[in-house]
Chains A and B, each alone.
Chain A
Amino acid sequence: MNAIEFIFAGMLAAATPFLLAALGEMVVERAGVLNLGVEGLMALGAVIAFIVVYHGGGHFLGFVAAGMSAALLSLVFAFIALGFRANQVATGLAIGILGQGLSALFGKTYESLTVKGLPKIAIPGLSDIPVIGGLFEQDIVVWLSLLATLAIWATFAFTKTGLVIRAVGENPKAAHAIGYPVIAVRVAAIAFGGMMAGFAGAYASVIYTPLWADGMIAGRGWIAIALVVFGTWLTGRIFLGACLFGAVSLMSLAAQATGLDLPSQLLSSLPYIVTIIVLGIISADRRLLKLNGVASLGEPFER
């Protein structure tokens, strides 16, 4: 397999943790809340899923448990950031530290154990196409993530739910005046975002690299938050961004396979460096950010 085929085959799976977490964060931010705890939420989801799968609970149950536990932790964020109108940056950082701490605590006895991943499902015909055929042979969670992406896009494009979430994010005072429950919508968005981050962590620990190691999320949660900015709060662009990052994170493996003599640490830091560069390029276009940005992002709502 050459490097290009390798990247096409692995890109979507590598992109899935970024995609799930970033879509969740996009919904949270569109409701006007900035939750910086994604890294910790992912770590918690990852360890919970791993423990469930390791003890024979199966992947489905693992994902459910991961989604629920991360949603629960994100509700702690909601309770403090919305209930007590605390600084959202500080609250998110605290949730991130707490989630990473809890994951290390729970995962202590599972360090470097492994579980079985999931088989890949090929779409007949399409998966036989040369070069890009690998794109059409993925595990069930990747396929479901693509469906989720479509569903979230459609929700914002066509439904009243999407409109209400946007209204609450753009102008909470006005949304409140028309009679929308601002706090309730935000809490629901935060819980959804937490659940998605939990799924993202679960995918990383029980399917993508089915093993547990402390710190295995390795900044993916932060890249997911950056992806929301790259994607300028739009589903399609976030999907493309996640694919880019999936490809970038595969490049270190591809480079080794082709015998490129680069220090492995440079390749490991490639996703972070690309994040910094792309963030600079996108943010420099202030008009673009303004166009789809959320007006009241990060501001507490007071009646």
Chain B
Amino acid sequence: MSSFALPTLVRRQRASLTATLVAPPAALAAAIVLNLILYMIMGRDPLAVLHAMILEPFLSWASFSEVLLKTGPLLLIAQGLAIGFRAKVFNIGAEGQFILGAIFASAIPVWFPQASGGWIWPTMLLLGAIGGALWASLTAFWRVRLNANEILVSLMLSLVAAQFLYYLLLGPWKDPAGFNFPQSVMFQYDAMVPTLIAGTRVNVSILIALALSVVAWVFMEKSFLGYKLQVGGLAPRAAGYAGFSEGRAIWLSLLIGGFAAGLAGAAEVAGPLGQLQRSISTGYGYAAIIVAYLGALHPIGIVISSVVMAVIYIGGDNAMVSANLPIAAVRVFQGSLLLAYLIAVAFVRYRLEWPKATHTVAKGSTP
């Protein structure tokens, strides 16, 4: 037989807590190294990219406040998605739910541009959350009533949502004084979420996101409903015997996910953008999937991972300017980060066992 042997994965008696805590930072380090190698191959100075991507976001208050601004939507969406993922409901259509949230919220300033009063922005946020939940409820209906795969339906609905947004911006909701740009009117002052830190774009939506993170933690870790939802994900039959149907778990998961994503969409148009635009999302709905996994689907982990992902976004913007790196590099980084995490997390449940060598073992052999 051959003189080399591959290591095998052996299931641990119980999950390793050390590995759980080490996996995300290890994956981040691995992804950084991999991507730096890629930038080197592309002929960029890796140290300059590293500086722009990882350090610069922390070096000035102006940069770091932008990180906080990006953290808001990622945190909100990821908290909502993680609840579903733990119940094994794979809603990957947060992008569409985000868009519908933005559209629903924009209805007030677009239809009533003269309205004023302190009630406007909270109502917009609420409308946005309802819009996102309604869009998600289509997926829930298709899944529960028609047995259709929620991954495919929610994704398709995201593509439809994007077309619906273009339709509104090129048609009925186009700003007549907007030089034919696909965007709505600029929102009035009272339609804007109040700024939190003077001189920056950080607004109260980050506080809402943090507050909802606490709610998510209480719901998942302390409430009976959250507990049943998790059991449903781990052992659907057991949950069924306990009187909690799969259908209810799916409805609940999707409505929560849609609500959070819709809220994030509303906060984006009523916050940094101030109008409905074609590019309201830079893939938040998809990035939040990575944020949720990287945070180990745990409310506290997600708070940390959403900041990490926001740094990657802002750092990618910096690297585009200072190191001439295409913005697509951010997507490559996101994808490779999730892959690295999935490898790292394997060591939570398994350990590598090297076969006992009888002869000299060829090292560095890859499968």
Residues in A neighbouring B157, C-beta threshold 8 A: 272, 276
Residues in B neighbouring A289, C-beta threshold 8 A: 147
A279 and B9 contact, CB distance less than 8 A: no
B342 and A276 contact, CB distance less than 8 A: no
B151 and A80 contact, CB distance less than 8 A: no
Partner of B152, one of A102, A104, A105, A229: A229
B290 and A97 contact, CB distance less than 8 A: yes
B335 and A276 contact, CB distance less than 8 A: no
Partner of B332, one of A91, A98, A265: A98
B328 and A89 contact, CB distance less than 8 A: no
Give the nearest-CB partner of A278 in chain B. Answer: B148
Sorting the interface of chain B by its residue count into under 10, 10 to 19, 20 to 34 or 35 or more gives: 35 or more
Roughly how many angstroms separate A90 CA and B345 CA in the complex, as a whole number? 12
- The prevalent SS among residues of A at the interface is helix
Counted as pairs of residues, one from A and one from B, with CB atoms less than 8 Å apart, the total is 144
Give the nearest-CB partner of A281 in chain B. Answer: B146
A contacts with B, residue count (CB < 8 A): 51
Roughly how many angstroms separate A91 CA and B342 CA in the complex, as a whole number? 7
| Contact segment of B47-55, B165-173, B252-260 | B165-173
Within 8 A of B (CB), among A69-90: 76, 79-80, 83-87, 89-90
B156 interfacial contact with A, CB 8 Å: yes
Contact flag A269-B160 (CB < 8 Å), given A90-B342, A102-B332, A279-B153: yes
B171 and A263 contact, CB distance less than 8 A: yes
Residues in B neighbouring A101, C-beta threshold 8 A: 328-335
Partner of A97, one of B11, B148, B171, B338: B338
Roughly how many angstroms separate A218 CA and B326 CA in the complex, as a whole number? 21
Roughly how many angstroms separate A88 CA and B158 CA in the complex, as a whole number? 21
Residues in A neighbouring B345, C-beta threshold 8 A: 86
Residues in B neighbouring A281, C-beta threshold 8 A: 146
Roughly how many angstroms separate A90 CA and B286 CA in the complex, as a whole number? 11
B331 and A104 contact, CB distance less than 8 A: yes
Give the nearest-CB partner of B154 in chain A. Answer: A276
B151 and A86 contact, CB distance less than 8 A: no
B200 interfacial contact with A, CB 8 Å: no
B244 interfacial contact with A, CB 8 Å: no
Roughly how many angstroms separate A229 CA and B335 CA in the complex, as a whole number? 26
Residues in A neighbouring B293, C-beta threshold 8 A: 90
A95 interfacial contact with B, CB 8 Å: yes
Residues in A neighbouring B9, C-beta threshold 8 A: 84-85
Residues in B neighbouring A90, C-beta threshold 8 A: 289, 293, 338, 342
Closest Cβ of chain B to A178, distance in Å, is 21
Residues in B neighbouring A85, C-beta threshold 8 A: 9, 346, 350
Within 8 A of A (CB), among B144-198: 145-149, 151-153, 155-157, 159-160, 163-164, 166-167, 170-171
Q: Chain B: residues with CB nearer than 8 A to chain A?
A: 9, 11, 42, 90, 92, 142, 145-149, 151-153, 155-157, 159-160, 163-164, 166-167, 170-171, 286, 289-290, 293, 326, 328-336, 338-339, 342-343, 345-346, 350, 367
The 9 closest A-B pairs by CB, nearest first: A98-B335, A101-B331, A104-B328, A101-B332, A94-B338, A84-B346, A97-B335, A265-B167, A269-B163
